[in-house]
Amino acid sequence: MNDLRVDELNCETPLSAAAESVTPPGSFFVRNHFPVPPLRAEDHVLEIGGDVRAPLRLTLDDLQARSPAGAVVTLECAGNGRASMDPRAPGTQWRLGAFGTARFSGTALAPLLRSAEPLPGAEVVVFTGADRGEVEPDRTEAFARSLPLADALSPAALLAWEMNGEPLPADHGFPLRSVMPDRYGVDSVKWLVRIEVRAEPFRGFYQAERYRYLGEAGVADGTTVALMRPRSLIGYPTAGETLGEGERITIRGSAWSGYGAIASVEVSTDGGASWRQAGLVEDAPDHGPTLWESDWVVERGAHQVVARATDEEGNTQPLTGVWNAHGYGNNEVHRVDLEVS
Ligand code: MTE
């Protein structure tokens, strides 16, 4: 049985983890809408049903008997960066730490879904967690998200029971979660108990009323959050770091995008007045981050280090945040202020 917590938990990954390819265990951000449900591995059952010819009921043993699959995946909450939206957007005021990278292991979702035989006309797949609570006064729901059937059948989609080689921690979905690489974290449903195939769109609170872009210039109102927008974070130096004049340092960080591989990261040490190309030190593993670095000889005075990523689809981070009503997808550049005296 996992540890019980009476209230929901939200906490950020320290930004120094952006200099690593895998987030140190225990530092991975947590985004729980409701208290962690008390689940036991030994009697956990996953149902696959709805508009299917062959519904399934699978224990963890059944799942673990299937072909193993795993990947290094970066998860990022769609609300990451909300705290800097101007005017303020309501919701959890995430600064920039709602990201994390881990190796998730389990089995591939697509073959399982296919073996349930979705009926002709099936359009969406709803993933439901065992956690539930009041989403607004007098309306209690389980946490659930849907994906178009074609996306749920992506070869990258996983049902995972391990994170970095250990059973999933309670806060990260023990004993079973879905992991949908390249998409905002909301689509990776924790404490997974049911997968339902349907012909009609799903109208759950976190599908129809949240996690949609509203009022954002250039984006149709009601567009659901889906792929992660490009993001780069500076892992070193962090704000307030003590640096000596004349010191040669390597600015380090990581970058990712759900739209494709990272093509370039530019770095500025003067608040964006001038830019240079960072070196990309590692190709992204699976669906993890691209690490980057840039050498700098520190000069006396006030500096602002900025990093800006561009993906292979040509999407670039904006210099200032693009506002929307719920504060989703704010991928404005990361700025770190430093004073060298
Ligand atoms: N799944 C369930 N069942 N309940 C939740 O509250 N939060 C979602 C997603 N899956 C959530 C969930 C959101 S918004 C995010 S960003 C990720 O889980 C966070 O995953 P993590 O807590 O493992 O970092």
CB-based contacts of 120: which residues, under 8 Å, 6+ apart? none
Bond from prior residue into 237 cis (ω within 30 degrees of 0)? yes
DSSP annotation string for 90-134: SS----S--EEEEEEEEEEHHHHHHHT-BPTT--EEEEEEEEEEE
Q: Does the beta carbon of 129 lie inside 6 Å of ligand 1?
A: yes
Pairing of strands 10-11, 30-31: antiparallel
How far is the C-alpha of 291 from the C-alpha of 252, rounded, in Å?
7
How far is the C-alpha of 145 from the C-alpha of 205, rounded, in Å?
9
Torsion region of 55: left, alpha or beta (phi above 0 gives left; psi -120 to 50 gives alpha): beta
Residue of minimum CA distance from atom 22 in ligand 1: 30
Residue of minimum CA distance from atom 5 in ligand 1: 32
pLDDT at 4 over 60: no
Confidence of residue 341 (pLDDT cuts 50, 70, 90): confident
Confidence of residue 1 (pLDDT cuts 50, 70, 90): very low
Q: How many CB atoms lie within 10 A of CB 328?
A: 28
**Dist. CA 141 → ligand 1 center (Å):** 15
Residue of minimum CA distance from atom 14 in ligand 1: 186
pLDDT of residue 9: 82
How far is the C-alpha of 126 from the C-alpha of 131, rounded, in Å?
15
Q: Does the beta carbon of 192 lie inside 6 Å of ligand 1?
A: no
pLDDT of residue 7: 59
pLDDT of residue 285: 74
Residues 38-51 have pLDDT tens digits of 999 999 999 999 99
pLDDT, the chain, mean: 95
How far is the C-alpha of 130 from the C-alpha of 37, rounded, in Å?
6
**Dist. CA 234 → ligand 1 center (Å):** 24
Residue of 7 and 111 predicted with greater confidence: 111
Residues 239-293 have pLDDT tens digits of 988 899 999 999 999 999 999 999 999 999 999 999 999 999 977 778 999 999 9
Q: What is the pTM of this model?
A: 0.96
DSSP 207: I
Average pLDDT over residues 43-60: 98
CA trace torsion 138, 142, 145, 146 (10° rounding): -90
**Dist. CA 33 → ligand 1 center (Å):** 7
Confidence of residue 6 (pLDDT cuts 50, 70, 90): very low
pLDDT at 8 over 80: no
260 φ, ψ to 5°?
160, 180
pLDDT at 5 over 50: no
Confidence of residue 184 (pLDDT cuts 50, 70, 90): very high
pLDDT of residue 73: 98
pLDDT at 3 over 70: no
| H or E segment and range at residue 301 | strand 301-311
Q: For a substitution probing ligand 1, which of 92, 132, 190 has the most ligand atoms within 8 Å of its CB? A: 190
**Dist. CA 305 → ligand 1 center (Å):** 31
Distances (CA, A) of 335 to 43, 92, 152, 254: 47, 21, 36, 14
Taking every pair of Cα atoms in the chain, the longest distance, rounded to a whole number of angstroms, is 70
Q: For a substitution probing ligand 1, which of 2, 27, 99, 186 has the most ligand atoms within 8 Å of its CB? A: 186
How far is the C-alpha of 166 from the C-alpha of 147, rounded, in Å?
27
How far is the C-alpha of 331 from the C-alpha of 318, rounded, in Å?
7
Residues 186-229 have pLDDT tens digits of 999 999 999 999 999 999 999 999 999 999 999 999 999 999 99
How buried is 244 (Cβ within 10 angstroms: 0-12 exposed, 13-18 middle, 19+ buried)? exposed
Average pLDDT over residues 308-329: 97
Average pLDDT over residues 162-187: 98
pLDDT of residue 329: 98
Distances (CA, A) of 289 to 25, 184, 217: 16, 14, 28
